[in-house]
Amino acid sequence: MSVNAAPPPFRRVLPIIEIALLVFALPLPWVLDDFWVLFATKICILALLALSFDLVWGYAGIMSFGQALFFGVAGYVTALLATKSGVTSIFALMPVAAFVGLVLAFVVAVIVIFGKRIPSVIFVALGTLTGSYAVERLARGWSWVGGQNGISSLPRLTAGSFEIEEGIVFFYIALGILVATYVLMRLLVRSQFGLVLTGIRQQEARIAFFGYQVQSYKGVVFTLSGLIAGVSGGLFAFHEGFIGPGQLGPVLSTQAVLYVLFGGAGTLIGAVLGVAIIELISYVLPQFTWLGETVTAFLETGWPVVLGLLLLGTVMFRPTGLIGLLVSDRERVGSFGKAARAAPPQKSQASHEPA
Amino acid sequence: MSLLEVRGLTKIYGSLTALKDARMTVTGNEFHGLIGPNGSGKSTLLKCIAGAELPSGGTVHLSGRDITRATPPERSRAGMSLKFQITAILPQLSVYDNLLLALQAHDPMLALIASRTRGRLHDEVMELLTRFGLADRRDQLAGFLSHGQQQWLEIAMALSRKPKLLLLDEPTAGMSPQERRATGDLLGPIKARCSLLIVEHDLDFIKDICDSLTVLDQGEVVASGRTDDVQNDPRVKEAYLAHG
């Protein structure tokens, strides 16, 4: 009976999607015009922000409304270094962005996550939201960092004597950082550490009785997510040539949440897809002219309503996001042991491996 | 020397005194049963020992160390393990991964990030799976196991870190007679390695496997000692008869 009830061994779809997307992205600058290359670069950069939220929510069950805080502050710090101190080297600024995000996330984690008892989801959500909100207000009122206007006309990033222009080179840098981050994150979430995160997501209280310091795991994940969001913010500032209070606050934080919920939390590729699709829809909807004048006129200003309904529908009817249409639950959760890696006929081979 | 020492444990919920001055001792390599009528406070006592509830008064010592207010991970590291009544397996993970998760619990985080203990723990996982008759189901999702098999998986998980004391809350609840017998057979051999504190409704099961018993009634310890002595204690008979 129970053998029949068991699900069939799952088909691996995720690697196919991942490789297909990479193959799709690699030649983009050679087929797209300048505007779309900038657009694709922005998607790569925002995908990093979405990945940072996916790591905390999709893998560790931490609802953070503060990802823009790490993104924006890293953007501001690197922008200030460039405009006030003349530092433009990518090799200096990107590590700084990562470090700023990491430190800031650690500080927030100390306040809302670390502690003797496990904090509730809503406490962490409100704590991070408050942080994001407060820092946005601070930036708006602080003239040294540009106040309402933020910091604009940033110089270009440099690598040695080479100036990194927005366009093909910047696209490949952003894509390269995205792919590298993605691969490292994938290793992390499929490691034994990732197994603990799965446990925390499913049975947080019980995992503590095994001997796991749940808060330490959550704190580490949260801090790492700050690092990723920081890199994203640094790249964003120099790609747009601008950073402002809007990139610090709850609006962008919420956008990160929506990217991931729409694409599919708990799969890394879902976060990337979420960004690409939402950004494309946001661009295409206002200029949609196929359905007659009335619709066009409505969409010109009313497009966010359509987008909102689309997101709401997805979250309601597809809690696993768009990726849930393609990927089984079993594959999404994955397997972590050595046994799962060896194919069944090779059982004897497994036993020969050193203990 | 006593392994677990409970002294003067009291638990008050609002106006209800669930436990009053409870005291008991579990020695090394002993199977100790905790029995009593419904509402007698045995689950509360077990939860206070496990750290799922904090007592209002009294102390709990494990191997001479005061763990009354220790967090669950601290208790686990001190050698305590538990299996509660509510299922604690992770239904969306394979049987194998459930055990791996329990086994690697005390490994340093960096080792887990690098997956450095995966190879070493493989043999231990397979040995436990074989011992608990789950080896051929290792790649199955734990949520698809039968009720009895889920209970065994949980016991295997609770034993994986080689605890000194294992707390079991009604391990045979909802099991068929065959599964009960099999559970008794599975528990027997662990006496060489660890002590057991077990809450159970099935008195026959308890009498078969326990060396000593503690009987609770209305939040108080009525009797505690060798199984044979306690069974013949007139106060115990009265407590059980009075409540039907």
**A355/B107 CB distance under 8 A:** no
* Most B-contacting residue of A196, A204, A209, A214 (CB-CB within 10 A), to test interface: A209
For residue A42 the two structure tokens come to 């922005």
Separation CA B237–CA B203 (nearest Å):
13
For residue A160 the two structure tokens come to 């040695």
A199 touches chain B (CB under 8 A): yes
Continuous segment of H or E residues that includes residue A307: helix A293-317
R_g (Cα) of chain B, nearest Å: 18
CA distance B101 to chain A (A): 7
Residues in chain B closer than 8 A to A9 (CB atoms): 139
Residues in chain B closer than 8 A to A4 (CB atoms): none
CA angle (A310 as vertex; A307, A316 as ends), nearest 5: 140
* Residues carrying CATH 3.40.50.300, chain B: 1-79+165-244
For residue A56 the two structure tokens come to 């905390």
Side by side, which strands form the sheet with B57-62? B16-27, B2-13, B57-62, B65-66
What is the DSSP track for A18-63? HHHHHHHHTTHHHHS-HHHHHHHHHHHHHHHHHHHHIIIIIIT---
Separation CA B198–CA B195 (nearest Å):
10
A211 touches chain B (CB under 8 A): yes
Separation CA B203–CA A318 (nearest Å):
49
> pLDDT below 50 — which residues of chain A?
1-8, 339-355
Residues in chain A closer than 8 A to B111 (CB atoms): 192
Residue B8's nearest CA partner among B61, B71, B79 is B61
Domain assignment present for residue A287? The answer is yes
**A339/B96 CB distance under 8 A:** yes
User: Could you tell me the CA-to-CA distances from B177 to A130, A271, B173, B180 in Å, in that order?
Assistant: 56, 50, 11, 5
Separation CA A69–CA A72 (nearest Å):
5
Residue A247's nearest CA partner among A234, A265, A259 is A234
Residues in chain B closer than 8 A to A207 (CB atoms): 101
Q: What is the largest CA-CA distance in chain A?
A: 71
Separation CA B102–CA A331 (nearest Å):
21
Pick the residue from chain A with its C-alpha nearest to B163.
A210
Per-residue pLDDT tens digits for A139-168? 999 999 988 999 998 999 999 889 888 889
Domain assignment present for residue A280? The answer is yes
What is residue A37's predicted lDDT score, i.e. its pLDDT? 95
CA distance B228 to chain A (A): 33
Amino acid A122 reads I
Quickly count helices (H) and strands (E) in chain A. 15, 2
A328 touches chain B (CB under 8 A): no
**Cβ–Cβ under 8 Å, residues B119 and A355:** yes
CA dihedral A68, A71, A76, A82 (to 10 degrees): -160
What is residue A42's predicted lDDT score, i.e. its pLDDT? 96
Domain assignment present for residue A342? The answer is no
User: Could you tell me the CA-to-CA distances from B22 to A276, B18, B44, B59 in Å, in that order?
Assistant: 62, 10, 11, 10
CA distance B237 to chain A (A): 36
Residue A285 has phi, psi (to 5 degrees) of -55, -50
Per-residue pLDDT tens digits for A63-118? 999 999 999 999 999 999 999 998 999 999 999 999 999 999 999 999 988 876 77
> pLDDT below 50 — which residues of chain B?
244
A333 touches chain B (CB under 8 A): yes
Domain assignment present for residue A339? The answer is no
**B76/A196 CB distance under 8 A:** no
Burial letters B74-95, b for 16+ CB under 10 A, else e? bbbebbbbbbbeebbbbebbbb
Q: List the domain range (segments joined by +) for residue A172.
A: 14-333
CB atoms within 10 A of CB A117: 9
How many residue pairs bridge chain A and chain B with CB atoms within 8 Å of each other?
A: 131
CA distance B122 to chain A (A): 7
Domain assignment present for residue A351? The answer is no
**B94/A335 CB distance under 8 A:** yes
Q: What is the DSSP letter of A317?
A: H
Name which of B50, B71, B101 is nearest A116 (Cβ-Cβ). Answer: B71
CB atoms within 10 A of CB A155: 14
Q: Chain A, 104-163: which have a CB under 8 Å from a chain B CB?
A: 116
What is residue B241's predicted lDDT score, i.e. its pLDDT? 60
Residue keyed to tokens 């018993």: B213
Separation CA A58–CA A124 (nearest Å):
15
Side by side, which strands form the sheet with B212-217? B80-83, B165-169, B195-199, B31-35, B212-217, B220-226
As for how many domains chain A has, the answer is 1
What is the DSSP track for B135-184? GGGTTSBGGGS-HHHHHHHHHHHHHTT--SEEEEE-TTTT--HHHHHHHH
Pick the residue from chain B with its C-alpha nearest to A115.
B71
Name which of A5, A116, A210 is nearest B105 (Cβ-Cβ). Answer: A210
* Most A-contacting residue of B85, B139, B161, B167 (CB-CB within 10 A), to test interface: B139
* Whether CATH 3.40.50.300 fits B1-79+165-244: yes
The pTM for the full model equals 0.88
ipTM over 0.90: no
Residues in chain A closer than 8 A to B90 (CB atoms): 198-199, 202-203
Domain assignment present for residue A345? The answer is no
**A211/B73 CB distance under 8 A:** yes
